[in-house]
Structure 1
Amino acid sequence: MTVKNICIFGAGALGGAVAAKLASSTSAETNVSVVARGAHLNAIRESGLCLLEAGIEHPLKVRVNATDRPQDLPPQDLVITGLKGHQLGPAAEGIASLLKESTRVVMILNGIPWWYFHRDKSANAELQFDELDPGGKLWRLVGPERVIGCVAHQGAEVSRPGEIRLSNKGHFILGEPSGETSTDLRNIAALLEGSDIGVKLSLRIRDDIWSKLMGNASFNPISALTRSLMSELMADAAISDQVGKVMKEVKAVGALGANVGMSVEQRLEQAQQVGPVRTSMLQDLLGGKAMEITPMVGMVVALGRLAAVPTPVSETLLALVSRLDRENFSGT
């Protein structure tokens, strides 16, 4: 595929970081645009994107075409979404306005994505979930056949409007839902790698989704409920014990069609190395934003029921964090 027009739809922490690196390294013939909103959009328009990366002395500053009206942009060769799962449905029409017949869409998502069962090789192939894709808008307007799955292992935060801070040298795992190593997949990986973005290709992207979900489904809601950093959670024996229980549930539900190779003990040991990081759910809570609950916690419970796997700790967390989200987002 020839990539001349690239749009990052949702240029927040991860999306903005990807946009900055692409804009700084692609040729003059490549147009990088971002879709953003509010103060962040205004700052990007006025001063550009600023990327601060751990271990790198000087910030990366770039200018990109920024808008909150995707329909004003030309058809794109590549769309990369940085929106969270609960933000995608309302953005379906905007994403669709950017598409032409050959456009591929890389979706950077935490948790279970709306396209999860597309081209799956189980009896659940093409199963859709209204809670992930209300009214099937994404399935209908964007189309799962366009999607390249993406699992991010990259700590990022919008430190102020127009400025993004990366806490580590991370990477992105890319994979076709079918498991194929397509030409599009290889070309997109090469484009990202050429922009100093770490990339790994996966033949089993669902395995990678569940491996990361072991952490997301446990640390995110517990950090929000306790307003604690990752390092604080792991330093509390009682809390880390509950984290391990959630991870066991996630691993058991993931056996529905994925192979989660990492053990709970290995995942907990890995978490000990993370340090004083705020999870994305805690960031949203403190920012007064709606939290990404359904893809990361709700779907563990929903798929647990589908697979007849009990998830009592996850069910408790889902009830508690959903209540917290309603009160926080309503401003009460």
Structure 2
Amino acid sequence: MKALIVGIGGVGGYFGGKLAKAYGFSPDHSVVFVARGEHLRKIREEGLAVSTKDEGNWIARPDLVTDRPADAGQVDIVLFSVKGYDLEQSAELVKPCIHEGTAVISLLNGIDNAERLSAVIDRGHILNGCVYISAYLAAPGSVTQVGGPCTLFFGPETGPVEPYRPVEQFLKDGGVKATLTDDIASALWSKYIFVGPLGGVTSLSGKSLGGVIESEELRSMLAGMMEEVKAVASARDIVLPEDIVKNSIDMASNFPYETKTSIQLDFEKGNRTELDTFVGFLVKAARDLSIDAPLHERVYRELAARERR
């Protein structure tokens, strides 16, 4: 199989780095990275340095690293791990690589990425996915994983999962803790109820995950936002575990105290953010369903004003 990893930040760098470590220069499989600028140059010259919390450190050397996806030719698997605001543009560039049997998997935060990809890509099999990991781009040519179980879930929105078993096996054999699921919608919402409210509260407060959890006021706000997500999911016929709010807060408690969310880091650095993905999506979905989501409304309003400054 040939796998194309689009976006070599924390997520793409970790999972792509695992695959490149396992399959680099294999006679049967190949791994291609799509990166840009100085990051591309560093990887091309020195490989991708991957540092992890519990799995050691290594240099990942993909078969090819390029800023032109078409250089890869046609591929069997595409993993998208770009920022949400870059998804459509990246998908356009990847279109020449996709054949009728290509599995195209979004690993982005958010709920509607498969729908967005389907609007651009008219071949292959568009699958949704989600990951649980805390990782970031430390410097050009270097990614660091600091927390999370490093798990990857993926599957079709409808239809049988069996055609995608070879993809699951490829990922597993490459060292990725991957699970093919026939209920990817629940997996996406289970992730969203975690990352959306956490991203909003950490960005608004400036506190790390540990700082949010130890503050009674912020923890209460976090739980309230999670309840708003749960209400919208329920109205969309997504069944989530009854205790998902408690479990999500418990999961956040298990991350290192100093962990910051990706959107929080973007706000701190003055970068473009994924505010619409983390918070705005839920605001719109709640309004469309006539569901009150006052905490999301407030967080979105205040962070949008901050982003405009």
Provide the TM-score with structure 2 as the length reference.
0.92
Which amino acid letter does the alignment assign opposite residue 108 of structure 2? Answer: L
Which amino acid letter does the alignment assign opposite residue 100 of structure 2? Answer: E
Task: For residues 124-153 of structure 1, give each alpha carbon's deviation from its aligned partner in whole angstroms, at most 9, with x where no partner exists.
Answer: xxxxxxxxx4xxxx4343149621211101
Residue 299 of structure 1 is aligned with which of 260, 281, 301? Answer: 281
Which amino acid letter does the alignment assign opposite residue 89 of structure 1? Answer: E
Is the 2:50–2:58 Cα contact (8 Å) retained in structure 1? yes
Give the match for residue 128 of structure 1.
none
Partner Cα separation in structure 2 for residue 81 and residue 206 of structure 1 = 18
Is the 2:200–2:299 Cα contact (8 Å) retained in structure 1? yes
Which amino acid letter does the alignment assign opposite residue 104 of structure 2? Answer: V
Give the match for residue 322 of structure 1.
304
For residues 93-112 of structure 1, the aligned pairs below 5 Å read 93-112=92-111
For residues 55-74 of structure 1, the aligned pairs below 5 Å read 55-57=54-56, 59-64=57-62, 65-74=64-73
Give the match for residue 181 of structure 1.
161
Residue 11 of structure 1 is aligned with which of 8, 13, 24? Answer: 8
Which amino acid letter does the alignment assign opposite residue 110 of structure 1? Answer: N
Which amino acid letter does the alignment assign opposite residue 59 of structure 2? Answer: K
Give the match for residue 28 of structure 1.
27
Identity %: 25
Give the match for residue 141 of structure 2.
162
Give the match for residue 126 of structure 1.
none
Root-mean-square deviation over aligned CA pairs: 1.8
Give the match for residue 121 of structure 1.
none
Consecutive unaligned residues in structure 2, runs of 5 or more = none
Task: For residues 45-68 of structure 1, give each alpha carbon's deviation from its aligned partner in whole angstroms, at most 9, with x where no partner exists.
Answer: 1211111111234x1112221111
Partner Cα separation in structure 2 for residue 180 and residue 284 of structure 1 = 38
Is the 2:190–2:240 Cα contact (8 Å) retained in structure 1? yes
How far the C-alpha of 1:323 sits from its partner, in A, is 2.1
How far the C-alpha of 1:6 sits from its partner, in A, is 1.4
Give the match for residue 122 of structure 1.
none
SS, match of residue 111 in structure 2:
coil
Is the 1:192–1:199 Cα contact (8 Å) retained in structure 2? yes
Partner Cα separation in structure 1 for residue 194 and residue 228 of structure 2 = 12
Residue 254 of structure 2 is aligned with which of 273, 278, 291? Answer: 273
SS, match of residue 97 in structure 2:
coil
Which amino acid letter does the alignment assign opposite residue 282 of structure 2? Answer: V
Consecutive unaligned residues in structure 1, runs of 5 or more = 117-132, 328-332
Is the 2:88–2:120 Cα contact (8 Å) retained in structure 1? no
SS, match of residue 102 in structure 1:
strand
Partner Cα separation in structure 1 for residue 113 and residue 51 of structure 2 = 31
Give the match for residue 39 of structure 2.
40
For residues 84-163 of structure 1, the aligned pairs below 5 Å read 84-115=83-114, 133=116, 138-143=117-122, 146-163=125-142
Q: Residues 263 and 56 (structure 1 numbering): CA distance in 2 closer, same or farther, change over 3 Å?
A: closer
SS, match of residue 115 in structure 1:
helix
Is the 2:83–2:274 Cα contact (8 Å) retained in structure 1? yes
Provide the TM-score with structure 1 as the length reference.
0.86
Partner Cα separation in structure 1 for residue 201 and residue 22 of structure 2 = 38
Which amino acid letter does the alignment assign opposite residue 54 of structure 2? Answer: G
Partner Cα separation in structure 2 for residue 100 and residue 180 of structure 1 = 20
SS, match of residue 77 in structure 1:
strand
Which amino acid letter does the alignment assign opposite residue 308 of structure 1? Answer: S
Is the 1:85–1:113 Cα contact (8 Å) retained in structure 2? no
For residues 222-237 of structure 1, the aligned pairs below 5 Å read 222-237=201-216
Give the match for residue 267 of structure 2.
285
How far the C-alpha of 1:287 sits from its partner, in A, is 3.3
Give the match for residue 53 of structure 2.
54
Give the match for residue 178 of structure 2.
199
Task: For residues 226-269 of structure 1, give each alpha carbon's deviation from its aligned partner in whole angstroms, at most 9, with x where no partner exists.
Answer: 22210011111111111111001000001112111143223222
Which amino acid letter does the alignment assign opposite residue 36 of structure 1? Answer: A
**Across the two proteins, how many residue pairs are aligned to each other?**
302
Which amino acid letter does the alignment assign opposite residue 148 of structure 1? Answer: L
Partner Cα separation in structure 1 for residue 30 and residue 181 of structure 2 = 28
Is the 1:179–1:205 Cα contact (8 Å) retained in structure 2? no
Partner Cα separation in structure 2 for residue 188 and residue 11 of structure 1 = 20
Which amino acid letter does the alignment assign opposite residue 243 of structure 1? Answer: L
Structure number having the greater strand percentage? 2
How far the C-alpha of 1:12 sits from its partner, in A, is 1.1
